[in-house]
Amino acid sequence: MITIETEYFNPISQDFYDNTIHSMDLTLLTCTCGHRGCLIWYGSYLRKLRQGDSIFMLRVARGFCKSCGHSHALLLSLVVPYSQIPLPLQASMIQCYEDGSGYQEILAKHLLIDENTISSSLRSYRHHWRERLLI
């Protein structure tokens, strides 16, 4: 996957995603293999994102690297890899965890978020992301 840095845009929409992705020149992106100028458009797939009290289906574009032969999802920085929970909401959960405060406000605002979702996100943070963020 290749992450494209964007400003915080709440809520994310398909139009915002499409405008951001299609305004870019793929030849300027660097593949994870380190080569630049070798990406071509390679289709898309649907991905679920939880926003407020609804599930949003985002069509994610993919690029194919002619150099290494791998396909890569083109994700905005607001989308956390392998998660349906957007980055700002995960950051709120992590802040509550680090502060030791409760999750009542998050649970009240986001109807599709429950204790299991918070627990899963925090487990992923503790086991994978915290180490990477400290480097």
| Predicted structure pTM score | 0.78
What is the H or E stretch that residue 88 is in? Answer: helix 87-99
- Look at residue 110 in the predicted model and tell me its pLDDT: 85
The confidence band for 61, taking pLDDT boundaries of 50, 70 and 90, is very high
Percent of the chain with pLDDT over 90: 32
Residue-wise pLDDT for 62-112, tens only, equals 999 999 999 999 999 888 888 888 888 888 898 888 888 888 888 888 888
Q: What pLDDT, on the 0 to 100 scale, is given for residue 75?
A: 92
The mean predicted confidence, pLDDT, of the chain is 87
The three-class DSSP label of residue 79 is coil
Rounded to whole angstroms, the Cα distance separating 22 from 11 reads 19
Mean pLDDT of the 19-33 span = 89
Q: What is the pLDDT of residue 126?
A: 82
Q: How far is CA 40 from the centre of its chain?
A: 21
